[in-house]
Amino acid sequence: MQRGSRYPKRYVDLHVHTSLSDGTNSVQEVLRFACQKNLKAISITDHDCIDAYPLALELGGELGIEVIPGVELSSEIAGADIHILGYFVDVRNAALNRKIQAMKDARYRRAKKIVKNLNRQGVDLRFETVLSIAGEGAIGRPHIATALLREELVYSFKQAFEDFLGYDCPAYVEKLKLCPEEVFALIRNAGGVPVMAHPGVTGVDERLPEFMQKGMVGIEVYHSEHTSAQEEKYLRFCKAHNLAYSGGSDYHNNNHLRSEIGSKRVSYAAVKSLKERR
């Protein structure tokens, strides 16, 4: 891997996905991109999956990039889908691994049901095709959309979600979700810092005080879909309540809305704020 050297290392990306969840790039590729961007630190936060570690830590050491063990866990409250980021988690923690394995198993069963639903609608997709794309990672709807594209059963990734896989679509199946309080406790018991992911996207502003009481320690202030006004608002909230803050690109692939690793300029100060609350 070639080391980045164009700019001083000042920036970080604390929200990155790989092919182990719903991204398309391998752990090695993600670390190479981070190196090319000359990032000081990165966190791979795959959905309900910590399989990127310890390889990511090893590669980060070789490249001189600080790798912060992370994860993005799914939860739900009052019908709203809530994502919670965990930073500095002990990836060897037994309770965390048991819960993540249960979520991964649930994702497998869910994907199988989605494929059956597609088959009932006359869409000739084999589950084995989905497995070949997902590999050993946690199976998500993007893997199924990619399989539909590979088999030329849809014209685009967007069509796959609009016609079949999106909420309220014919093939959609609910995924296993925990309550936010359970996720906060799980992360904290694994030595991590629980952070509310992209609140401006999920629309949970009014619940932030409640989440603080239930164990939330930080907020993802900087995100590719947050406006500058939202970022300023969340940063003020963090300072007023002595919360940690984080930020990142929410990178999935180069064709995604969040197009590049490091595309959201986040200072290393975000890492310091997380370390202070470990």
pTM (2 decimals)?
A: 0.88
Residue whose C-alpha is closest to residue 42's, from 73, 18, 7:
18
Q: Does domain 11-98+193-275 sit in CATH 3.20.20.140?
A: yes
* Mean pLDDT computed over 212-233: 96
Highest mean pLDDT among 126-135, 142-151, 233-242, 251-260: 233-242
Omega before 194 cis (within 30°)?
no
DSSP class per residue in 99-168:
HHHHHHHHHHHHHHHHHHHHHHTT----HHHHHHHHTTS---HHHHHHHHHHTTSSS-HHHHIIIIISTT
Residue with tokens 């398309």: 24
Report CA-CA distances (Å) from 65 to 71, 90, 159, 161, 173: 18, 19, 38, 35, 38
Percent of the chain scored above 90 by pLDDT? Answer: 75
- Digit-coded pLDDT (tens) for 180-217: 999 999 999 999 999 999 999 998 999 999 999 999 99
Q: Check residue 254 and give its pLDDT.
A: 61
Res. 139 pLDDT band, cuts 50 70 90:
confident
Q: Check residue 3 and give its pLDDT.
A: 52
Residue whose C-alpha is closest to residue 1's, from 28, 26, 19:
28
* Mean pLDDT computed over 32-49: 95
Residues facing residue 74 across a β-bridge:
83
pLDDT of 2 over the 70 cut: no
- Digit-coded pLDDT (tens) for 145-176: 999 999 999 999 889 999 999 988 999 998 88
Report CA-CA distances (Å) from 155 to 151, 161, 163, 228: 10, 11, 11, 35
Residue whose C-alpha is closest to residue 183's, from 78, 71, 20:
71
- Digit-coded pLDDT (tens) for 57-96: 999 999 999 999 999 998 988 878 899 999 999 999 999 9
pLDDT of 5 over the 60 cut: no
pLDDT of 43 over the 70 cut: yes
Q: Where are the domains of the chain?
A: 11-98+193-275
pLDDT of 241 over the 80 cut: yes
Q: Write down the mean pLDDT value for the chain.
A: 91
Residues 6 or more apart in contact with residue 229 via CB below 8 angstroms: none
Q: Residue 103: how many CB atoms within 10 A of its CB?
A: 20
Give the Cα separation of 229 and 238 in Å (integer).
14
> What residue spans of the chain are helical by DSSP H?
27-36, 55-63, 94-120, 127-134, 141-150, 157-160, 180-189, 199-202, 208-214, 228-240, 269-275
